[in-house]
Amino acid sequence: MEKKYCHTELVSFADRDHEALMGVWWTGILLKKRAKHFFSNFLSSEVQFNIMMVLKYSEKTLTQSELGEQLLVDKSNITGLLDRMEKSGLIRRLSVPGDRRCYHIELTDSGREILEKVEQPYRDYVKKLMATFSAKEIDDINRYMSRLEKAVAAEESTAFNDRS
């Protein structure tokens, strides 16, 4: 049976599969909370940081749709996020010649300045957090998460096809 919930440690379950999945889920929630606090002095959300990082390191100018696909954000949510970021002066939308419905997204100078202030402290924080693992363990985590992601994506695809 399930043990009682404790805020400072992971709950143990009789079902190891469930316990592992809940460990991933719970850690994700904790990381999201920590990210919200970490970015609060610079941006309104960690999603804004992720958008800015994708834009900075993309090899080409991305459209709004491409950006949403890379970040796994649906079309309606990416529009609202970009609206707020544009209003804050972090990004700008540029018309795509020949397609009045499509916009390229780019960082503004102000967006780049904020990213310059937060990117290195973020990388330092990640390095500090992940120092709890060896290089091999980090490789293992990356492999495991990739496999889990593929399994979830396959399940999502199957569920979508079942509804059609």
Token pair of 120, please?
């290195």
pTM of the complete model? 0.79
Pairing of strands 91-96, 62-63: unpaired
The correct answer on CATH 3.30.2130.30 for the domain covering 43-109 is no
Output the pLDDT for position 8. Answer: 53
> Which of 100, 46, 108 has its CA nearest to residue 73?
46
pLDDT for the residue numbered 28:
92
Given a cut of 50, the residues of the chain with pLDDT beneath it are: 1, 5-6
125-139: pLDDT as tens digits: 999 999 999 999 999
pLDDT score recorded for residue 65: 87
Q: How far apart are CA 48 and CA 71, in angstroms?
A: 11
pLDDT (0 to 100) of residue 13: 74
Delimit the domains of the chain by residue range: 1-40, 43-109
Report the C-alpha gap between 128 and 139 in whole angstroms.
16
Residues 6+ apart with CB under 8 A from 3: 11, 12, 13
